[in-house]
Chains A and B, each alone.
Chain A
Amino acid sequence: MNLVESASLPPAGLPGLDPSWSRLANAPDHSGRICTWHLLDSYAQRSGDVPRLTLVCVHGNPTWSYLWRRLVQLAPADVRVVAMDQLEMGFSERTGDTRRLADRVADLSSLTEALGITGPVVTVAHDWGGPISLGWAQRHLAQLAGVVLLNTAVHQPVGGPAPALIRLARSGPLLNLNTVHTSAFLRGTTALSGSKMSKQTAKAFRAPYTTSQRRVAIGDFVADIPLETEHPSAKKLDLIAADMTEFEQVPMLLLWGPGDPVFSDLYLGDLMTRAPHADVHRYEGARHLVSEDDERVFPDLLRWVANLALEQRTGSNPGAGIATQQVHRTRLWDGLHEAAERTPTGVAIVEMSGAGRRVTWRRLADTVDQLAAGLHASGVNPGDRVSLLIPPGADLIAAVYACWRIGAGVVIADAGLGIKGMRRAIRGAAPDHVIAIRSGLALARTLRIPGLRLSVKGLAAIARIDAPMPPEPSESATAVIVFTSGATGPAKGVVYRQSQVAGTRDVLREHYVINPSDAIVAAFAPWAVFGPTLGVASVIPDMDVTKPRTLQAVALAEATAAVAGTLLWASPAALTNVIVTAGALSAEQRRSFDSLRLVLGAGAPVPLPLLEQIHELVPHADIRTPYGMTEVLPVSEVNLPEIRAAAGGNGVLVGRPVNGVEVMISALDADGRPVGELTDQSEVTGEICVKADHMRDRYDRLWATNYSASRDSGWHRTGDVGHLDSDGRLWVEGRLAHLIVTARGPVTPVGIEQRVQQLPFVQWAAAVGIGPSGNQLPIVIVTSTDGTAEGLLDVDSTQMVRDQIPELDIAAVLVRDELPVDIRHNSKIDRKALSFWADQILAGHR
């Protein structure tokens, strides 16, 4: 028997819920009967005020308006937040009726009418609130200003099964047991939160559902999920899904917890297909209750909402990609074809590992064309994403160029992210297809890739398919999704369009004066991919490119000799090992380095002593270190003589911007926030900002990150901190996330570390802050050259460290056996982890 119970206000004392937000409101339901709703209303005490915008927030099952409490709290004064408990749910009336999807859409419409919500509305919904809110939105297009969806669905994704957990909950006898008679479903939902939700908060989510009678609607709601086509709500859901085309002109934001076992990334993909214009932000690590799991969700949502109005005023949306410059550049595959015409039998690629494969220009050009035709015929379409899990070499290069020729984007997640990081990165990029070596296919199997799953060995068969060449894609087609190293949080996907990759190529060609007589020694993976478009030969040394430390001097010499290499690009870790193993070189092998005219050390700061050693080994080459990042490379460059002359400055000298790059600084305020107007004034420390034609388009599915990094129109905020000197040269002082914000203002770590490393007993040093931001203490952590045990450094040595940094009060110096570094570069110090470690120790007994 269904319970009939009137609406009520929530009990006092629920965490984060202000009783003054709660009100009861009467409105006729779909059948015309007057029902009482409980709702949170940020204007509950301000009746008569007219908001600029109203957020109508629809919860799912089995939550209630409590889900939106922080949105009510955070909303600015001119934004009204209305979050209702749906009828039969939360603290709204229990009428005893079973309400289907169409009924609930009508109920909600009637409520907003009764509340007099006539101005612009952004709908906000979670879970099965999604279809209801979209149904409402379709009925109110005239006042609809935007649509925000959090972990929801409007349809089963093509080819995807119903969410397993929902299917289980729906399965016959289990339904009532799970949802009504016990609170298992209810408890399951709060347990679906990834963060450890506090007991009080979990209890607050359950507060309206304390008895089985009050839970009846939870069961009805689950039963109303149309998994079968003959289901009474199936038609309505299909209609809502089909009508999403009506939202083409409506700004849409999808905020997603990718760890949701119910509404997985497949559902995000389905929504993105239905609304290709939607802004998307995936919160890595968050699950079903995304707004409980990541505290950035509601601030980001409100920023997006504030930007809606901005957009009407200025027409610019910093969350979107960089507008493609209409500079005509040669297509990415042109250089390869030109070389094939010029020197068909000339060598394009040499692999030093295994059998030492050599591929001619003619062969490479033909293979790329055949693969492009074959892959296109096999279902790889322009705009698709193809994950390539292939080590650098001829196969990778051919696959990349074939995809580019089709207009498909390649997803390059390198093993430097670690297996877990790779899987997370690929899942985030949601590739349509995968081409991989065997171990890569095994990894891809867990990722539910809908399209082609091809092994590298299968490429030969694809190349044999007799199919026409696909038409040339647009220059604005996505070319590649690459990933940041993840040294400061989960790796972020970075999207480049073809024009932007071509821009990078042109900067490299112009800056390094590359011509067909050059040959690249690609000990740093990206170089290998640029060889063909530059029209120059490349050799990939026999090494595990994902483990730069494995590069042996002999392997490098043999690779250089194989093509008479002129350009070497390697990471500092690889160069270090070359020096360590240089003793094994024969006189002849040493001489093979004479062909090198340029050595680039990049990926991370290269210490001066290492550069000097390289100079001894390769005396004829110009030695330089470019500065850049996954989002734009190169930014600036410095050579060995300049580095020699620069000792003693604050930070690492990275030189003058290369041609076509502008660098400005956004000064830090006392709290370490980069709020200053962009300036090129010297000696101002702040966030390094870069503008260049060849920079990234945007971050992938990270709307808020992109918004923040692109907030100065046309510029990229790097997250690095540094300054320009009076000669216009750039110095890097550390990461924004690693600032030490003391009571006397922010302090950057790199300069401190360099000075401490001058002490004879110090091998490596890291400077971190502990304590609350704004009152942090600077702490130095060192690895010692003399085997000092982990723990506190002795008082006299501590004093020597302090004397190196007289302008700061270093509270303590700790010794560690080694410093934690990132996997990819093996050199970026994880200062966050060190700060946490130091804080734990120096807090003493807890």
Chain B
Amino acid sequence: MRVLVTGASGLLGAATAHAIANRGHEVVVFQRRASGLPFDEVRGDIGDDDALTRVMVGASAVVHLAAKVSITGTMAEFERVNVEGTRRVLQSAKVAGASKFVYVSSPSVAHTGAPIIGAGALPANPQTARGPYASTKAQAELLTLAQDEPDFAVVAIRPHLVWGPGDEQLIGRIITRARAGRLFLIDHGVALIDTTYIDNAASALVAAVERAAEPSVHGRAFVVTNGEPRTVAELLTQITRAAGLPAPTRSVPFAAAYGAGRVAERVWQTRDSEPPLTGFLAEQLATAHWFDQRETRAALAWVPAVGLAEGFGRLTSWYQRGAVAL
């Protein structure tokens, strides 16, 4: 089976492309920059229909990861990439005759800001999703799942907080702040949060590709996590320790963090760099969100192969090797 992976320059995209190839499938990748991956590659923007048409040739499955994921930006930018881009990829996949489409979504599409305690994949809702990223991902998930047909199996996979060696999104930001001595806990970091080690997210996507046509799979959305919720305090301690840094000890109350985040969002609107904190991020770091993985595991016939302890071990080794190289 020839599988197209969009957005393969990111951590999860690259890991997924490798995992698919390791299962004996043929892989083609599509993204703006050179991926450096040992696969067929077409470079282009998600708005470039010609490039999309070219890359779709012969593909029977698509894993669509390409998205704007940053925590800042205008709604229009998010819409262009996440909603319109997804619509184009879907369209060209159908035209090209692909039979499976795996949309990489996010649990934030169903997160209203209230704690999520052991819930399954609730319906995506662009109105209640927090912030432009979650809202546009919700729109895209809804329009993708609406395209599910007998000979075009559509699945949405929502990996929650993917991390691993080389991750800049989550781990990188935490370490940068810890190095600067500016990493602190919100409300003592008591909220329980599910995360996903990179290899597990990739293997779940492979399972989704292979099982997309199963009756219990197609047309549905699944949250994917390690299934080992931990407190924010413990996660931050493990991550900073992996990098050889002291664990955060200072805590600020939620109200203060949220307020500071909202101020930073406004201040940073006019700058190129990212704000250190946003209201959304403060909420995410102070509110429980852990999920019911029973349906996901049964439907995808998948279990995470790498436990949290093993994952933190690998992260530690990675930082140690990096230190030696420096």
Contact = CB atoms under 8 A, between A and B. Distances in A.
B234 A795 contact: yes
A811 B230 contact: yes
Interface string B196-232: 0000000000000000000000000000000111111
22 contacts: A772-B117, A772-B118, A775-B292, A775-B294, A777-B192, A792-B231, A792-B234, A795-B247, A809-B227, A812-B192, A812-B230, A842-B191, A843-B115, A843-B117, A843-B287, A844-B232, A845-B115, A845-B186, A845-B287, A846-B114, A846-B115, A846-B287
B191 A811 contact: no
Interface in B238-292: 238, 247, 254, 283, 286-288, 290, 292
B190 interface: yes
A218 B229 CA distance: 56
Interface string B169-201: 000000000000000001111111000000000
Given A743-B293, A772-B118, A812-B230, A844 B287 contact: yes
Contacts of B128: none
A812 B192 CA distance: 8
B271 to A, nearest CB: 28
Given A775-B118, A791-B190, A812-B192, A743 B230 contact: no
A839 interface: yes
Given A743-B293, A798-B234, A845-B283, A771 B190 contact: no
| Overall SS of chain B's interface | mixed
A176 interface: no
A159 B287 CA distance: 59
Contact of A844 (B115, B119, B247): B115
B190 A777 contact: no
A223 interface: no
A164 interface: no
Nearest to B235: A795
A743 B288 CA distance: 18
A843 B113 CA distance: 12
A797 to B, nearest CB: 11
A292 to B, nearest CB: 27
Contact of B234 (A809, A812, A844): A812
Nearest to A769: B118
Given A775-B118, A791-B188, A844 B290 contact: no
Contacts of B187: 844-845
Contacts of A844: 115, 187, 190-192, 232, 286-288
A770 B117 contact: yes
A839 B118 CA distance: 11
A841 interface: yes
Contact of A777 (B114, B118, B232, B283): B118
Contact of B227 (A743, A774, A842): A743
Contacts of A812: 192, 230-231, 234
B60 interface: no
Given A777-B290, A795-B237, A811 B192 contact: yes
Interface in A685-725: none
B20 interface: no
B233 interface: yes
Interface string A193-229: 0000000000000000000000000000000000000
Given A792-B231, A842-B191, 13 more contacts: A743-B294, A771-B290, A777-B229, A777-B290, A791-B188, A792-B188, A792-B233, A795-B233, A841-B190, A843-B117, A844-B192, A845-B283, A846-B115
Interface in B91-132: 114-115, 117-119
B150 to A, nearest CB: 32
B279 to A, nearest CB: 12
A842 B192 contact: yes
Interface string A796-828: 001000000000010110000000000000000
Contacts of A845: 115, 186-187, 191, 254, 283, 286-287
- 6 nearest A-B residue pairs (beta carbon): A844-B191, A771-B118, A845-B286, A843-B115, A775-B118, A775-B292
A643 B228 CA distance: 36
Interface string A124-152: 00000000000000000000000000000
B207 to A, nearest CB: 18
Contacts of A771: 117-118, 290
Contacts of B232: 844
Q: Which one of B115, B227, B228, B234 has the greatest number of beta carbons of chain A within 10 Å?
A: B234
A812 B229 CA distance: 8
Contacts of B247: 795
A815 to B, nearest CB: 12
Contacts of A811: 192, 228-231, 290
Contacts of A743: 227, 292-294
A809 B114 contact: no
A26 B190 CA distance: 63
A708 to B, nearest CB: 27
B86 to A, nearest CB: 31
Interface string B1-28: 0000000000000000000000000000
A811 B195 CA distance: 12
Contacts of B231: 792, 811-812, 842
A776 interface: yes
A776 B290 CA distance: 11
Nearest to A772: B118
A446 B254 CA distance: 48
